[in-house]
């Protein structure tokens, strides 16, 4: 691919990155759930919420930040760009801090997807799936 046509997705605003990241992360989670044998729409929706809700993404992002060396400096920057974005909307049933951290999570996923860092994005998504499953079974 001609380098002159490539975009520097790191310059995109955090909310635009989050817009893409929300969609791509949800697709991976839906694929995971269907591959686990879940097929009923109501069951799928309920199961997906454990991974994709603002509360879940807030939890996962905080866990990622707590794990020393998990995220690169650029990944942290993309998270912060989304977290600090000035959104004129907010999620239902969560406080603004939870919503902003979740937006940062989505921004990170969007950045990795747009930069075609698929292997890294999938590595982090697998980490998230494992973390949610461990949390689910640990309780």
Structure tokens at 82: 């989304």
Judge whether 105 and 82 are in contact, CB under 8 Å: yes
95 included as an active-site residue: no
Judge whether 80 and 113 are in contact, CB under 8 Å: no
Q: How far is CA 69 from the centre of its chain?
A: 18
Judge whether 24 and 113 are in contact, CB under 8 Å: yes
Phi, psi of 40 (to 5 degrees): -80, 130
Give me the catalytic one of 8, 22, 31, 135. 22
Q: How far is CA 61 from the centre of its chain?
A: 8
Catalytic positions: 22
């Amino acid at each position: 691919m001609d380098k002159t046509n490539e975009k520097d997705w790191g310059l995109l605003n955090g909310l635009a990155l989050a817009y893409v990241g929300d969609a791509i992360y949800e697709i991976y989670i839906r694929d995971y759930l269907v591959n686990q044998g879940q097929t009923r729409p109501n069951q799928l929706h309920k199961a997906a919420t454990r991974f994709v809700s603002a509360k879940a993404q807030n939890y996962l992002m905080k866990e990622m930040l707590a794990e020393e060396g998990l995220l690169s400096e650029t990944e942290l920057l993309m998270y912060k760009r989304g977290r600090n974005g000035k959104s004129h909307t907010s999620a239902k049933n969560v406080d603004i801090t939870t919503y902003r951290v979740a937006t940062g999570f989505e921004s990170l996923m969007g950045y990795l997807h747009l930069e075609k860092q698929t292997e890294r994005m999938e590595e982090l998504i697998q980490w998230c799936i494992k973390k949610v499953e461990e949390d689910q079974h640990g309780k």
